[in-house]
């Protein structure tokens, strides 16, 4: 696929030549892309990379979100999810409650549990291991994708009191199949000090993923944008992810999501939500810059399905999952549905001119027939 250079804004033409020649773009190129308002040109360039890697297929996963607790030691400025134990919106699920939710979801055909929580101050190590074992016992084929790098460091240092590598091995032995990309936010420490003071550094986040990848396992990676960061912070974030992937090859996909301002704490109130233009531009640039990460996911919970659908022609090849029950973004003010049916996902993909296909937790394509047994009612 080639792009007619006369249809591109002048500043994009030399970068497009690099993309077409499969040359890696520089940080300076990334800044040029963020400064460009030629959204269609960015989309065309991103689709060169997208179709080179993934053809016209767009994927989604049939999964169920679980938030086992929102009780958290931290007080991140962007987070409406986390709570102290005595706050009115604090909650904790029991193991039996989580198992019941997953058992019910398995009847609908899910292939993955996506499970995260806060940094709980008092849950013991046996609770986490019992939870993993109980979920694995429901179905050996079910992938348990759980915990952010920040949660895992918390488990290592405060709960199990074991080195990171031993903690990861312990979790894997008891059923953990993949770790999530959350907690990355924006890597620049000055920004982190303002939006999530006390949260692990970029290097500490990366250490968890590097160790997990060294064990032969996979994870996703993320970026939270649209708050106080600037374009050079985003490029720095992407550069660090690309460098980790150069070393480990363990990231399966990149999932950027926009800051939800409605539920923000005082330090971040009053910031407008990222526009659809900015969301599409960020996705397209991510696809162009992250030449070594195979998949770019449009998180429809954050974007809304219409923008996520359009994003399939701006470098995106994945629409994430059916979800079933998402709390973190909805507690922050997201107005999107709590879940989508398989049919809705497939229809959205077809309308965008792409070929829909279900995937597993590792972005490997699977394509079971759609039946009444694996359909979800939309919220």
Mean pLDDT of 93-116: 92
Q: What is the pLDDT of residue 106?
A: 93
Q: What is the pLDDT of residue 263?
A: 63
Distance between CA atoms of 132 and 21, rounded to whole angstroms? Answer: 46
User: Where does 84-148 have alpha helices with state H?
Assistant: 95-106, 125-138
Q: pTM for the whole thing?
A: 0.89
Mean pLDDT of 87-93: 74
Q: Residue 271 — pLDDT band, cuts 50, 70, 90?
A: confident
For tokens 């050079």, the residue is 232
Mean pLDDT of 213-232: 96
pLDDT 10s digits, 287-333 = 999 999 999 999 988 898 999 999 999 999 999 988 665 444 434 33
Distance between CA atoms of 98 and 101, rounded to whole angstroms? Answer: 5
Distance between CA atoms of 347 and 330, rounded to whole angstroms? Answer: 24
Report the mean per-residue pLDDT for the chain: 87
Q: What is the pLDDT of residue 189?
A: 94
pLDDT 10s digits, 137-156 = 999 999 999 999 999 999 99
Mean pLDDT of 75-88: 59
Sign of torsion over alpha carbons 237, 235, 309, 227: positive
Under 8 Å between Cβ of 72 and 332: no
């Amino acid at each position: 696929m080639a792009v007619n250079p006369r249809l591109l804004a002048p500043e994009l033409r030399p970068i497009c030549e690099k993309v077409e020649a499969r040359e890696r773009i520089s940080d300076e190129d990334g800044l040029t892309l963020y400064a460009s308002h030629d959204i269609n040109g960015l989309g065309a360039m991103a689709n060169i990379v997208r179709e080179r890697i993934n053809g016209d297929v767009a994927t989604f996963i049939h999964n169920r979100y679980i938030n086992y607790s929102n009780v958290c030691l931290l007080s991140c400025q962007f987070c409406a999810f986390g709570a102290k134990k005595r706050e009115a919106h604090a909650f904790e699920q029991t193991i039996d409650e989580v198992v019941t939710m997953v058992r019910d979801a398995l009847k609908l055909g899910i292939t993955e549990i996506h499970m995260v929580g806060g940094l709980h101050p008092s849950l013991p190590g046996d609770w986490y291991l019992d939870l993993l074992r109980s979920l694995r016992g429901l179905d050996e084929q079910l992938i348990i994708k759980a915990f952010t790098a920040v949660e895992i460091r918390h488990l290592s240092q405060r709960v199990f009191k074991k080195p990171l590598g031993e903690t990861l091995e312990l979790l894997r032995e008891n059923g953990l199949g993949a770790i999530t990309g959350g907690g990355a936010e924006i890597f620049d420490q000055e920004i982190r000090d303002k939006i999530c003071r006390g949260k692990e550094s970029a290097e500490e986040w990366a250490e968890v993923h590097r160790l997990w990848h060294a064990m032969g396992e996979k994870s996703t990676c993320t970026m939270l944008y649209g708050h106080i960061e600037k374009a050079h912070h985003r490029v720095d974030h992407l550069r660090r992810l690309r460098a980790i992937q150069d070393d480990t090859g363990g990231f399966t996909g990149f999932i950027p999501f926009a800051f939800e301002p409605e539920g923000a704490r005082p330090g971040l109130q009053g910031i407008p939500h990222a526009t659809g233009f900015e969301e599409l531009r960020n996705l397209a640039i991510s696809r162009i810059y992250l030449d070594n990460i195979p998949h770019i996911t449009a998180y429809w919970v954050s974007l809304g399905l219409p923008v996520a659908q359009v994003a399939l022609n701006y470098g995106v090849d994945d629409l994430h999952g059916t979800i079933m029950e998402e709390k973190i973004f909805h507690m922050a003010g997201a107005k999107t549905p709590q879940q989508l049916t398989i049919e809705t996902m497939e229809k959205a993909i077809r309308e965008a001119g792409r070929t829909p296909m279900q995937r597993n937790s590792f972005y490997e394509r699977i394509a079971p027939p759609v039946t009444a047994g694996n359909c979800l009612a939309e919220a």
